[in-house]
Structure 1
Amino acid sequence: MVYNVTANETQPTIWSHINGSPEEILDRYCVSELAKGWPVYRDASEWNHYRDCFTEDAYVFTTWSGGMTIDDFIQTSIAGRARGDFIMHRENGTLVDLNSATNRAVAKMKATITQRFNVDGIEYDVECDSRFIMWCLKTISASGAPAWKIQYYKVIYEKDKICPVDGSTVPMFEWSELDRYPYAYRYLGASQARLGHEIKLDLPTLTNEEMHKMYEAMDLWLNGKDIEQTLGIDRG
């Protein structure tokens, strides 16, 4: 099987993403700083700081939680952490597309999801390379100052692997177990399912239509359009 990111252009529209006016550079910096709240605050259980990164009605997607409001996601994360779920993140670089005319931006964070598992006494990590996409909005804070917030969060999953903690030992997975999940997050999905999570099977990867919907949603958002239907959000 050939598995790779498409060689074709994925985002024909060029927004303010490098250089520009001091105001544009400052806004992009603020959005980039905002996006770092996901790996820094969530990994440390700084829930108040983490919640402050999002709008009141923000909506997020992950493999194990599906899609839910940010408040439900935080409560689910707290419950999972209390049960022993050990999920961390490494930021590998973030760039921002900005449209000052609509006060909207999209943060694109290269990130690695890492989760520690213990199966039958064998400790191992699963690492999943991904792109965290955050649709951000410039709002007004309680003090009256401008403030960037995250409205939506969804991940493009690229590829994953098992990493032995002791350097050599990993659990065995039957191919029938792995084949239930998309190639991009099959080890992560299979391992999380062993913990009892219901794993979404239609999340964006390098080769499915959902990735192209993500890029469609980026342009729609920056143009000031509603994107909940494009992202597959059902608030019912």
Structure 2
Amino acid sequence: MALTEELIDRLAIRDLLENWTVWHDAADWERLSTVWHEGGRMITTWFQGTGDEFVRVSRERFNGGVRILHFLGGSSIDIAGDRAIAQTRMRISQRAKVESVVCDVVCTGRFYDFLERAERWGFVLRQPIYEKDRIDPVDPTATLKLDWTRLMSFPEGYRHLAYLQLGMGYSVKADMPGLTGPEVDALYIKGAHLAEGRINRSDRRRDAAPRGLAVSAAASFPGCSCNRIVDQPLPSRVIFGSEMLWVGDGEPIREEAVALAMGDLDMLPLDASQLAPGSIVADVITHETKLLICVVR
């Protein structure tokens, strides 16, 4: 069978997915650092940040005795030009003491990956979906007693993993996507837009973009009124979801809103009152730009 361009892309993407797993679990940090594009992000229960930061923190914790292992299953890959979404079955395994008993936690789910090709395929965002988990004492004769209230404070898909990680002193994110629910629905919206080519990635660096956005700029966007200023380093994507505004991969702003951005970006000629749920508002690749958040009337 002839190797078509699409098949070559699929093989390259699957190779990337497998390399991440083997290099991470084998502590091959130098090669693991090559799988993200610049500014690419990793979101897990215990970490949210750039790929470079993830490698650094993972190395530190590995050297401190932490062991988090992965096993991959099948993949479904949707390619749209130089963009792709890959969903891959996976299991996460972590061993540690829980309430003084050495335990294994196994979590089953999917990696939901945003990928782009810029000379090579690389991660823009790696986001696990946590579907279910369980905890087992390594010694089958040991008795494990958990704090039920603490256990049930986390979503079903990773509550035992969260319990273990809290006991290790981790700060655990409490709203990761599961098999169903608004978090995974929002993730699917983001994936659909990337697959449709409605999320754009610029090769231009925006580090030198002017800081701030004049409030008067909102006047040229019918249906908007000033709501608040976000003044912090921002990730790269702004997506208007069905019930919330996702600023990159951070926390959603839980109100119907639209973000406008300046810098060396062109202001979008849109009427905010006409935005449909799921509309892409802007593609912001910068580290210093302020966003003006405007409520849609």
TM-score normalised to structure 2 length: 0.66
Deviation digits for residues 32-60 of structure 1, max 9, x if unmatched?
11111221110111112111111011011
8 Å contact kept, 1:127–1:188: yes
Q: 1:148 Cα deviation (Å)? A: 0.8
8 Å contact kept, 2:80–2:197: no
Q: 1:203 Cα deviation (Å)? A: 0.7
Q: Which residue number corresponds to residue 135 of structure 1?
A: 114
RMSD (CA atoms): 2.1
Q: Looking at CA atoms only, which structure, 1 or 2, has the larger radius of gyration?
A: 2
1:68 aligns with 2:64: no
Deviation digits for residues 142-161 of structure 1, max 9, x if unmatched?
xxxxx111111101110000
Aligned to 2:101, which of 122, 127, 146? Answer: 122
Q: Which residue number corresponds to residue 211 of structure 1?
A: 184
Structure 2: stretches of 5+ with no match in the other structure: 200-235, 240-245, 251-286, 289-297
Q: Identical aligned pairs, as a percentage? A: 30
Structure 1: stretches of 5+ with no match in the other structure: 1-18, 141-146
8 Å contact kept, 2:99–2:146: no
Q: Which residue number corresponds to residue 21 of structure 2?
A: 39
Q: 1:229 Cα deviation (Å)? A: 3.3
Q: 1:170 Cα deviation (Å)? A: 5.2
Q: Which amino acid aligns with 2:71?
A: R
Change (3 A) 1:110 1:20: farther
CA distance in 2, matches of 1:83, 1:48: 18
Q: Which residue number corresponds to residue 258 of structure 2?
A: none
Q: Which amino acid aligns with 1:26?
A: I
Deviation digits for residues 173-204 of structure 1, max 9, x if unmatched?
12111012111110000110000001101110
Q: Which residue number corresponds to residue 148 of structure 1?
A: 121
Aligned to 1:30, which of 4, 12, 26? Answer: 12
1:95 aligns with 2:76: yes
Higher alpha-carbon deviation: 186-195 or 199-208 = 199-208
Q: Which amino acid aligns with 1:113?
A: I
Aligned to 1:201, which of 149, 174, 177? Answer: 174
8 Å contact kept, 1:162–1:170: no
8 Å contact kept, 1:89–1:113: yes
Higher alpha-carbon deviation: 119-128 or 29-38 = 119-128
1:190 aligns with 2:163: yes
CA distance in 1, matches of 2:169, 2:11: 39
Higher helix share: 1
CA distance in 2, matches of 1:96, 1:131: 13
8 Å contact kept, 1:123–1:170: no
Q: 1:167 Cα deviation (Å)? A: 3.2
CA distance in 1, matches of 2:129, 2:9: 24
Higher relative contact order (CA 8 A, sep 6+): 1
Q: Which amino acid aligns with 1:80?
A: R
8 Å contact kept, 1:64–1:200: yes
Q: Which stretches of structure 1, 4 residues or longer, exceed 3 Å deviation after superposition?
A: 229-232
CA distance in 1, matches of 2:249, 2:44: 13
Change (3 A) 1:217 1:120: closer
TM-score normalised to structure 1 length: 0.82
Change (3 A) 1:106 1:170: farther
SS in 2 for 1:202: coil
Change (3 A) 1:186 1:68: same
In the comparison of the two structures, how many residue pairs are matched? 209
CA distance in 2, matches of 1:97, 1:27: 10
8 Å contact kept, 1:58–1:150: yes
CA distance in 1, matches of 2:195, 2:155: 29
Q: Which residue number corresponds to residue 233 of structure 2?
A: none
